[in-house]
Amino acid sequence: MRNLNNSRLSKPHFDWPLLIASYLLAFYGVLAITIANYNPTLGADRSLQELIMDANNGRLQLMWVVVSMVVVALMMTIKYDIIGRLWPVIYFVDILLLSLVLTTARINNVAGWFQFLDRTFQPSELAKLALIITLSKALTRYPDRPIPNFRYFLYICAHFGIPAVLIIAQPDIGTAMVFCVIFVALLFMSGFEIRWMFLLGGLAIAAVTPVIFYLASTNNFRWLRLVAFIDPESDPTGSSYQIINSKVTIGSGGLYGKGAWAEGTLTHLNYVPENHTDFIFSVVGETLGFVGSIVLLALYVFVIYRMLLLAYHTKDRFGQLIIIGVMAMLLFHVFENIGMCIGVMPITGIPLPFISYGGTNLVVNMAGIGLVLNVTRYKSSIDLHENQRT
């Protein structure tokens, strides 16, 4: 049975389990956002559809779920190797958007959004997929020798470094961290030699150390938020406020939670600011309890594990790196977001994939899933060409 399953995964197929699990997460997100925006004065004796429609953010998130279905379908229309050939166009558009957004008005001291009427678009979210595509293509330039010389090493670093610097300039530290994780994961999977790893680590330390000393010496608020998880009690009404309140809220849910539509919950009292975006896990923990949280984590584990299996059974190096890149992006988002909600990771503003409110993030995550499905669907002819070449 195992050999049969492995053989099936190695053949071209539309991976329904991955798509279904991803949309279960997306609809879970619609429910969580609806709970966060639930107005107890309207009463809970209504259908779930009415509850979602009455919650403004829940209604909008449901709309973005529908939009994402169109995006996934579009991602399936062009073979991923053709998308790879378009990497110069993708890279240029990525750099252009990240440069232009620096000229926009700042929101929460971050120049990271284009404003269209009452809606916003965050190009740094799109930049994650662009990095996965362009870097994966760059790392397959020399399949037998991933890093043959220093010039090629600089070429690889430029694919990461230029957009990363533009994102730091916004400043968006959370997305910059995601960039680093994607970069390291793809380098590792491409056979990155240890000597280049040490060189890269040395350069990173040299670049980051003076920035850390500057932020620490000036007591910059962003720095205080980053290190607040180390000693939350040191500033309970300031930089540690969200961490402390989030932990209390999650802990109050117990095993089964207080109930999605219960009155007087900390969620509905807005005890944790921004609980429909960055701190959505606190909503799940309080209202749906430990059981609801485990269901959510189980869906994430399945999605991550499924992508690992698909990557293992993909022979084409470019396709394999795409899957690993998307998996690394989602895995770090989950680890960092839930970690900051329970007080073991710094606050970075990284949303919880498929769950946190936000159209750009949801559509980009689903586009990443669509890209993985693209690889599994079209890899047969590309794998055959790869086998003939080797």
Q: What is the pLDDT of residue 77?
A: 87
Q: What is the pLDDT of residue 315?
A: 87
Kindly report each contact of residues 299-305 with a partner whose C-beta sits within 8 Å and lies 24 or more positions away, as own/partner. 299/21, 299/24, 299/25, 299/28, 300/25, 300/330, 300/334, 300/353, 302/17, 302/21, 303/18, 303/21, 303/22, 303/25, 303/330, 304/330, 304/331, 304/334
For residues 334 and 77, what is the distance between their CA atoms, to the nearest angstrom? 29
Cβ neighbours of residue 142 closer than 8 Å, sequence gap 6 or more:
148, 152
Q: What is the pLDDT of residue 213?
A: 66
SS3 call for 114? strand
Closest C-alpha to 136, from 80, 176, 178:
80
Q: What is the pLDDT of residue 139?
A: 87
Q: What is the pLDDT of residue 140?
A: 86
Q: Residue 120 forms beta bridges with which residues?
A: 115
Q: What is the DSSP string of 323-382?
A: HHHHHHHHHHHHHHHHHHHTTSS----PPPTTTSS-HHHHHHHHHHHHHHHHHHHHHHHH
Q: What is the pLDDT of residue 26?
A: 96
Q: What is the pLDDT of residue 32?
A: 93
381: its two tokens: 């002819």
Number of domains in the chain: 1
Q: What is the pLDDT of residue 228?
A: 65
Per-residue pLDDT of the chain (390 residues; tens, 9 = 90+): 345 445 677 788 889 999 999 999 999 999 999 998 888 777 777 888 888 888 888 899 999 999 999 999 999 888 998 998 999 999 999 999 999 988 888 777 788 788 876 778 888 899 999 999 999 998 887 766 556 667 787 888 888 889 998 998 888 888 888 998 999 899 888 877 766 667 777 777 776 677 666 666 665 566 666 666 666 666 666 667 788 888 999 999 899 999 888 888 888 888 888 888 889 999 999 999 999 999 999 999 999 999 999 999 988 889 999 999 999 999 999 999 999 889 888 888 789 999 999 888 999 999 999 999 999 998 765 554 544 444
Instruction: Yes or no: say if 229 and 337 are a contact pair by the CB < 8 Å rule.
Output: no
SS3 call for 258? coil
What's the pTM?
0.88
Whether the bond between 171 and the residue before it is cis, its omega within 30 degrees of 0, is: yes
Residue type, 17: P
348: its two tokens: 């970075």
Q: What is the DSSP string of 173-227?
A: HHHHHHHHHHHHHHHHHTT--HHHHHHHHHHHHHHHHHHHHHHHHHT-HHHHHHH
For residues 302 and 334, what is the distance between their CA atoms, to the nearest angstrom? 13
Structural domain of 120? 2-389
